[in-house]
Structure 1
Amino acid sequence: MDRKAIIVLVLSFLLLVAWVPLVNWLYPPKPLPSGAKPGLTNKAETIVTNVSPTAATLVNPPTNTIARPPLAPKETERLVELTADGSTYVFTSHGGGLKQVILSADKYPETTKRGRAKGANGPGVLLNRGALKPVLALGGHPLLEDDRAYHLSKTGQVVRAEKELAGGLRIVKEFRPSSNYLMEATVRLENVGATDLMVPTQEWTAGTASLVHSKEDPMQLGFFVHDGHSGKPVHINEAWFANRTLGCFPGTPRQRFETAGNPAVWVAVHNRFFTLAVAPKDPAAAVIGEKVDLNLEEKDPTRRAGLQTALIYKGQALEAAAGRNTIERHFVIYAGPKDYGELARLGEQMKNNLDYVMDFSGFFGFFSKILLLSMKGLHDSFKLPYGWAIIIITIIIKLLFWPLTQASTKSMKRMAALQPEMKKIQERYKDDPQKMNRKLMEFMKENKVSPLGGCLPMVIQIPVFFGFYFMIQSAIELRGASFLWAWDLSVPDTIATVFGFPINPLPIVMGVTMFWQSSLTPPSPGMDPTQQKIMKYMPLIFLFVLYNMSSGLTLYWTVQNILTIVQTKLTKTDAAKKPGTPAGPALIKKK
């Protein structure tokens, strides 16, 4: 490798490491304006009294409206906690909804750390962390979100929030947590006055995507919206709101997303491993999502950012007469890990494909699903640690591709043996490239070799690699799963930090095995010296790219490299044991 190539590789590596800090330094992220309050506050809607039952469809409703009541001093927040199936649900009087969900610290600690003793997990994962509004807070119009607190009460395993607005509109919410991270919620809008009401468009908060802790990547925040008809839900993430140019350079940020067309059967906010999904019994007319500045003590504004969602229901009339004076809505809330088995079961039970939260759709998603189920099956059936499950799956995959890889290796050896004759053809017809290529193809056809034979096994294994990559991005099973020195297979296996640079052994071992593997693989015939250098040092590029990836992914790649080396050695040994001399290349006919 010449000096120029070394300089280019070193500069590329330094640029790769410093790219994100450099962009953030040149273009610091702009915090959301303080005091900005998301919601549908630009619509001129009012609660109207003395209207007929068809007032919801009137073009010019009556003009006798209720003025907005004076805001009372903000009352002290009152919290009510309720524990069910290991999860703690915290309800607030400010908004009368679910403020946060605290998962079991034994099962899902907030952070995973090296050497942490069992039972010393610290706090559990907090969902809806730092949210501006609780789940099922009612808004969308000034008259629906005054500063008065809800009255909270707890009866057994039921929490009730109640408040009466001016004009005779009472809001009643009941929450019933159950097992498997589920909760049933019922909300009612009751006309308790003597006159008919026109209730404006309602905005029911459906949760906020936020980081579990400050070390997580904000790029993994997002939310899904499913209409129940399309094959794939809409997925909006941090990148959509950032709206970067070419995916890297700062663009014009977006602040608001709103669905259009089909109603929404569920919306789910998520970070990397956890989700909070709200599925209404009656589909919502629309869903909005907004990027907000959370109530968190984080210096970095990107760590304070959250994605807040809400279900939109159109306004309608409420009569004063009994039996027609109530709007009642039912919701099922899931607040827990992105466990594919559990989400698939719930999706089948509710007929709404809730497992789409795993984002296992598309071509690579098919492989991700198979790999996850296989890994979990080995773990559950044979009590294998997940690290060993990954190794066994890699061995099985290698055995399945063994005949193809072996044939490819033999083809490459034949190509190497034919290379002197192919160079003669190239030299003879160097002034006529078209004829040279035709003669080369005829020569390879006569000798039954193909220049693509060595690439085929790698091409076929690409879906498996990306399947592993996408699976590991959301597999809760790998969070906190240890293997050898790696204490968490979902993050890099950092054992030390030197001058701010992490030391990750697994990617280094992976790079060494890739160099070893490339040294055993003969170069493709006809490849120019520049391409040969690129292929020779391709392992170094992979090392840079995968250095800070999940250790579970680098474990798979390392084992795959070792198995390929073993297979190459066995193929060479097998060829050496065969008696006789291989047939030489076909003679080149002079014309």
Structure 2
Amino acid sequence: MDRKSIVILVFSIIGLIAWFPLMNKYYPPQEQSRNMAENQDGVVMTDPGNTAQAEETVLQSSETGPAVARTPAVAISEPREPAAVPEDESLLIWENDTLAYEFTSAGGGIKTVILKQYQETTKCSDEESEETTETDHVRLNVNVPTPALNLFFGKLDNGFLPYTLKQEDDEILAEYLGPDGIRVLKRFQPGTNYVIEAKITIENTSYEPKLIPEHYLATGTATPTKPTDTGMYMGMRYHNGEGVEEIKESWFANRTLGCFPGTPRTVYPSEPGMVRWTAVENQFFAMLAIPEEPAPGLVTQQINLAPPTKEILKAFPKANMAPKGYQNSLSYPAQELEPGDTIERSFKFFTGPKEYQTLSRLSQQTGEEVDSVMGFDGFFGYFAQALLLSMNKLHDFGLSYGLSIVMITVIIKLLFWPLTQASTRSMKRMSALQPQMQALREKYKEDPQKMNRKLMEFMREKKCSPLGGCLPILLQLPVFFGFYTMLQSAIELRGASFLWTCDLSQPDTLFMIPMLGVPFNLWPILMGAAQLWQTSMTPASPGMDPAQQKIMKYMPLMFVFILYNFSAGLALYWTVQNLLSIVQMKLIKNEPIGPKANAGAAPAKPLPRPGDGPDWGQSYRKSKKKKK
């Protein structure tokens, strides 16, 4: 690498490191717009901890006229703050070896889900870890304004109704009886594979018709996986009857061109229709609700979570100081109940890891494509699914997940080896034919169309193609994007170590760069160096101007910029891929070009000798005359 290339590389790395601090300095997030806290035609933001207000809403709404079925028009407002826990709250815990459900009387729902087989944070230390306690486990729906499966009447987030909790065998009951004769009974039946079945019954026990107002069923809140989580992978998905819609953190941030922060949005209302299932998720865990009958709509809200404590900041200096969550609720229209009539709704509720095998079984049981939560939709999803299953199979044979990624990369390279070899040889022949091709360009430079036609005829005759070098890259792009898709949600890599990397699902940060306060991630830098090396060995395509050659030469720096803060597993795959390509190019470089490339070169004319053709005598006489 020449000195100019080194200078460009150094400045590119400096620019990469300084980009995010500069963006945060000159383009800070804008202040949330303050709108009305109450809108008669929209969602009303009230005190979620006010039990009296919740009961008053049911009473007042029962006396109003009938309402039409609709998805509410939601006003943009401040994100909600964590709710104050009612003083008279009681808890009931159901648990097994896999998880624990914490039920609350404030709202009669699931306050927290504790996943016993997963630790809250992955530890990157050679020291022996202390014994895992309950607080170390992953907790879903923790420290959020409302419990999952809480039922709101009349107004979204209008407080908690007081329920009575009791357990009968393995069934948990939550019951509320209002002064107007409206009775709500929730039955929870925990099952296997992180699934709990819920049946909600709304009954009119009075002697006169009652209007059940528009109501909402909370299905859970997406929260960060760790204190330093920026929320990039958090969001909500739902099936609208035609396909899966995905609403991520970027939708709420409302960034211009995906980079510059705009005016944030805090509420997402779905279009009126049907919701066959919905899920809130972070990178590795999801809370998924599957109604027996599709719901007519849903609303997702951005909420403010509690800032990190001093203890958390001590352990995680780069913790997110303003964490956000995304609370999801199914919406139902108002309905009039005659005395003794009931409304019954049943759900399957999944609260667990985004593990493909588990979600695939749930899809088969319910007939819904809930494994779409993995993000394996579309063309690249097929590759992501195949790569994940292959990685798990290799791991079953005793390989670590890091070695499994290396082995998959080797297998893929061997499959593409003949194609890449043929392509490299074609490019090598093209380089050898450059003098003749340049002669054709000079000969027909006044007629570009004829020049291009002659060049194509010449390359067809020599069995070379200018696209030969691009084909292997194009064919490997689906594999690369498949790896990218798979590694975004593969919980198997969470906490998996390899060499100096303690967690392949996260960037391999070795230390924070002094003064700049940004991480030093080694795998992306190694990946960029290997790709620069490979690019320097690749023969230039014929006809490519110097500017294009420079773009191709320094394109690896763009990959470093893009992948710098992505998972180490993806950078590991691309680094090994580049190194294997370098080995292959080294092997091909020493091969002879072959007769095909030299066939087009005009052979040198030999000196005339007696007997070499019919005109040898004439040539001989001419040479004698010159001597005289």
With the shorter chain as reference, the TM-score category is: 0.7 to 0.9
1:256-281 per-residue CA deviation (whole Å, 9 max, x = no partner) reads 22222431121100001110001111
Shift of 1:5: 7.2
Counterpart of 1:24 in structure 2 is 24
Counterpart AA for 1:534: I
Aligned to 1:157: 170
Matches within 5 A, 1:476-555: 476-499=491-514, 500-555=517-572
Matched-pair contact (CA < 8 Å) for 1:243–1:253: yes
Name the CA distance, whole Å, in 2 between partners of 1:560 and 1:489.
Answer: 17
SS of equivalent to 1:219: coil
Residue number among 385, 391, 413 corresponding to 1:369 in the alignment: 385
Q: Residues of 2 paired with 1:36 and 1:175: CA distance? A: 34
2:221 aligns with 208
Using the TM superposition, name which of 421-430 and 218-227 deviates more: 421-430
Query: How many residue pairs end up in the alignment?
Result: 562
What is residue 422 of structure 2 aligned with on the other side?
A: 407
Q: Tell whether the 8 Å contact from 1:84 to 1:179 is kept in structure 2 after alignment.
A: no
CA contact (8 A) 1:41 1:141 kept: no
| SS of residue paired to 2:137 | coil
If you compute each CA radius of gyration, which structure gives the higher value, 1 or 2?
A: 2
Corresponding residue for residue 484 of structure 2: 469
1:56 to 1:544, Cα distance in 2 relative to 1, 3 A: closer
Deviation of the 1:213 alpha carbon: 1.6
- CA offset at residue 567 of structure 1? 1.6
For each residue in 1:72-95, what CA deviation from the matched residue of structure 2 results, as whole angstroms up to 9, or x when unmatched?
Answer: x95433222221242121122222
Shift of 1:148: 5.2
SS in structure 2 of the partner of residue 107 of structure 1: strand
* Structure 1: distance between partners of 2:414 and 2:276: 43
Matched residues in 2 for 1:50 and 1:134: separation? 28
2:56 is equivalent to residue 41 of structure 1: no
For residues 137 and 246 of structure 1, what CA distance do their matches in structure 2 show? 37
Task: Report 1:21-170 matches (<5 A).
Answer: 21-29=21-29, 30=31, 40-41=43-44, 46-48=60-62, 75-104=87-116, 106-115=117-126, 117=128, 120-121=131-132, 123-141=136-154, 145=158, 149-170=162-183
Q: In the TM superposition, what whole-angstrom CA distance separates every residue of 1:483-502 from its partner, at most 9, and x where no partner exists?
A: 12211111122233331343
Distance (whole Å) between structure 1 residues aligned to residue 307 and residue 94 of structure 2? 24
Query: Which runs of structure 2 are paired with 1:412-427 in the superposition (5 Å)?
Result: 412-427=427-442
Q: Which amino acid aligns with 1:544?
A: F
1:566 equivalenced with 2:583 (yes/no) = yes
CA distance in 1, matches of 2:407, 2:521: 23
TM-fit CA distance, 1:285: 1.1
The residue that corresponds to 2:334 in the other structure is: 315
Is 1:288 the counterpart of 2:308 in the alignment? no
Do the aligned residues in 2 keep the contact of 1:158 with 1:174 (CA within 8 Å)?
A: yes
Segment drifting more, 483-492 vs 142-151: 142-151
CA contact (8 A) 2:104 2:111 kept: yes
1:585 aligned residue (587, 600, 611): 600
Whether the 8 Å CA contact 2:432–2:597 is kept in 1: the answer is no
Give the Å deviation of 1:572: 3.3
Q: Which amino acid aligns with 2:501?
A: A
Q: Which amino acid aligns with 1:454?
A: G
Match of 1:131, as an amino acid?
V
Aligned to 1:339: 355
Equivalent residue number for residue 202 of structure 2 = 189
1:288-321 alpha-carbon deviations (Å, 9 max, x no partner):
1121223444798874211111011222122224
Secondary structure class of the residue paired with 1:103: strand
Tell me whether 92-101 or 531-540 shows the greater mean CA deviation. 531-540
Q: Which residue of 2 aligns with 1:173?
A: 186
Output the CA distance in 1 between the equivalents of 2:119 and 2:9.
41
1:458 has 2:482 as partner? no
Moved more, 404-413 or 128-137: 128-137
After TM superposition, give the deviation of residue 581 of structure 1 in Å.
9.6
1:226 and 1:278 mapped to 2: Cα distance? 11
Seen in structure 2, the aligned counterparts of structure 1 residues 128 and 496 have a Cα distance that, compared at 3 Å, is same
Q: How many Å separate the matches in 2 of 1:164 and 1:257?
A: 32
Q: Does the residue aligned with 1:76 lie in a helix, a strand or coil?
A: coil
How far did 1:34 drift? 11
**CA contact 2:155–2:214 (8 Å) conserved in 1:** no
- 2:79 aligns to what? none
3-state DSSP of counterpart to 1:336: strand
Q: Is residue 122–residue 503 contact of structure 2 (8 Å, CA) maintained in 1?
A: no
Which moves more between the two structures, 141-150 or 277-286?
141-150
What is the alpha-carbon distance in structure 1 between the residues aligned to residue 596 and residue 308 of structure 2?
A: 74
- Partner Cα separation in structure 1 for residue 68 and residue 444 of structure 2: 82
1:453-485 alpha-carbon deviations (Å, 9 max, x no partner) = 111101110111011011101111111111122
Deviation of residue 220 (structure 1)? 1.0
1:350 aligns with 2:366: yes
Bigger shift: 136-145 or 347-356? 136-145
Distance 2:132 2:563 in 1: 29
Displacement of 1:161: 2.1
RMSD, matched Cα: 3.2
Deviation at 1:574, TM superposition (A): 4.5
Kept in 2, the 8 Å contact 1:150–1:161? The answer is yes
Per-residue deviation, residues 4-30 of structure 1 (Å, max 9, x unmatched):
877666555444433333333334333
SS of 1:173's partner is strand
Q: Answer whether contact 1:223 1:267 (CA < 8 A) is retained.
A: yes
2: distance between equivalents of 1:112 and 1:35? 45
2:221 is the counterpart of 1:199: no
Q: Which among 221, 235, 240 is matched to residue 251 of structure 2?
A: 240
1:76–1:276 Cα change, 3 Å: same
Structure 2 matches for 1:298-309, cutoff 5 A?
A: 303-309=322-328
From the superposition, tell whether residues 129 and 14 of structure 1 become closer, same or farther in structure 2 (CA, over 3 Å).
farther
CA contact (8 A) 1:47 1:197 kept: no
Confirm or deny: 8 A CA contact 2:156 2:215 kept in the other structure: no
Where do 5+ consecutive residues of structure 2 fail to align? 46-56, 70-84, 314-318, 604-628
SS of corresponding position for 2:504: coil
Change (3 A) 1:24 1:166: farther
| Paired amino acid for 1:309 | N
Q: CA deviation at 1:203?
A: 0.5
Distance in 2, Cα, partners of 1:128 & 1:395: 41
Query: Displacement, 1:233?
Result: 0.8
Percentage of identical aligned residues: 47
497-506 or 476-485, which deviates more: 497-506
Aligned to 1:225: 238
- Amino acid in structure 2 at the alignment position of 1:400: L
Cα distance per residue 1:507-551 (max 9 Å; x no partner): 233233223322322212222222222322333332333232211
Which stretch has the larger CA shift, 179-188 or 18-27? 18-27
CA distance in 1 between partners of 2:451 and 2:6 (Å): 34
Summarize deviations over 1:32-74 as a string: whole Å, max 9, x none: 86996998339x99544699xxx7889xxxxxxxxxxxxxx95
- Contact kept? 1:182, 1:334, Cα under 8 Å: yes
Asked whether the equivalents of residues 257 and 289 of structure 1 are also in contact (C-alpha less than 8 Å), the reply is: yes
Q: Measure the CA separation in 2 of the matches of 1:301 and 1:543.
A: 25
SS in structure 1 of the partner of residue 142 of structure 2: coil
Q: Secondary structure at the match of 1:516?
A: helix
